[in-house]
Amino acid sequence: MFAQLGDHIFQGLKTPSSMSDNEAVKYAQIQRINDKPTIQPTGTELKEIRLSIVYSIDFCEPSDEIAALKKSMRNLEVLTYLTGEGQILGKYVITSVDTTIQQCDANGRVERASVNVNLIESPSQETTEPAGRALTSQNPVPEPPAQPIPAPAAEITRDIAEAKTKVSGIKQTVTKIKGKTTELKRGVREVRQMANDAQQLYASAKTKVEATKKIVQRASQLPTSLGEALKYAENLATLDDAVDISVLELGAIQLSESAHKLSTHAAPVAGFAGTKEAGN
C-alpha cells in the first residue's frame, strides 16, 4: 500500500503517479531605522498535499473512484493520512478533485481518467466518520504496515537493461582475449561470472512476466525472447576454463543478438508501465 486517506486506499495500480507536498513557515518583517528590516517567525502555514492518480477500467471503475473522492470533499470529511509504512502524516480535508477524462466508451462510460486531488491540513479537529465506505477497504487504518508495491513492468525492463550491460561486458572481454590483453583462462572466468549475473537477471524478469498477466498480453513475444536469452546465458555460465576461443566468441555473439532482440520486445512492456501502471 502506498497510502490511505480515511477510507480511500491508494495501492497497486491505483498508486499515485506523483505526489507533491508544500510546507512553509510565516515570518513578519520588523522595520528598523536606517537599516534593513529584521524578521520574526510568526507561525507555520497549513501543510498541503497534491496527489496525481490515473484510474483505468482495466483495474477499477473510474467513475466510482472519482465519485467517492468527491463525496468526501463535499461532506467536509476530516481524513487521517497514513503512509504505506504506517506513518501518520496528520489529518487532512480534500479541497479539490480535478478530473481529466481521457477515454470513454460509446455510451459515455469513463474508461480512463487522470485525477488531481488537493489536500490541506486540518489540525486540532475531530475526524468525521465518512458517509460512504471506500471502494477497496472496509476497515480504515488499523492494518499492518505494508511496503509500496513496485511496478512489475518497471522491474522487468530494469532487469533486462542490467542484463544487457552484463552482455556488453562479455563482448568486451572476448575482444580483450582476441587482442591478447587478457589471458584466456582469466577471460573465461570473467565471462562466466557476467553470464551468471545475466542468467539471474533474465530468470528474474521471466518470473515477473509470467506472474503479470496484463504485461504478458501486451508483450506476447517477451516470454519466448526471455527463454532464448536465458538459454544462451546458461550456456556461457557453464563454460570450463579450457574452452576454445571460437566457442566463447560464438556464445557471446548469440547472447548479444538475443539481448538486442529482447530489448526490442521489452518496449511494449515499458509502454504499458507508462500508460497502465502510471500509479504504481
pLDDT, tens digit, 9 for 90 and up, residues 72-124: 999 999 999 988 777 888 899 999 999 999 999 888 889 899 999 999 999 86
Q: What is the pTM of this model?
A: 0.44
Q: What is the pLDDT of residue 114?
A: 93
Residue 187 lies in a domain: yes
- The grid coordinates listed for 83 are 503512509
Q: Are residues 88 and 165 in the same domain?
A: no
How many domains does the chain divide into? Answer: 2
Residue 74 lies in a domain: yes
How far apart are alpha carbons 71 and 90 in whole angstroms? 20
User: Is the Cβ–Cβ distance between 60 and 108 less than 8 Å?
Assistant: no
Residue 266 lies in a domain: yes
Residue 205 lies in a domain: yes
How far apart are alpha carbons 255 and 235 in whole angstroms? 9
Q: Are residues 103 and 160 in the same domain?
A: no
- Tell me: pLDDT of 136 over 60: no
Q: Are residues 109 and 160 in the same domain?
A: no
CATH for 194? 1.20.120
* Cα separation values, 74 from 11, 71, 95, 131, Å: 24, 5, 9, 10
More confident residue, 269 or 80: 80
Instruction: Tell me the average pLDDT across 38-44.
Output: 89
Lowest mean pLDDT among 5-14, 167-176, 240-249: 240-249
Chain centre to alpha carbon of residue 202: 19
Q: Which of 259, 267, 232 is nearest to 157 (CA)?
A: 267
Structural domain range at position 218: 152-275
Please, which pLDDT band fits residue 215 given cuts at 50, 70 and 90? low
125 strand-pairing partners? none
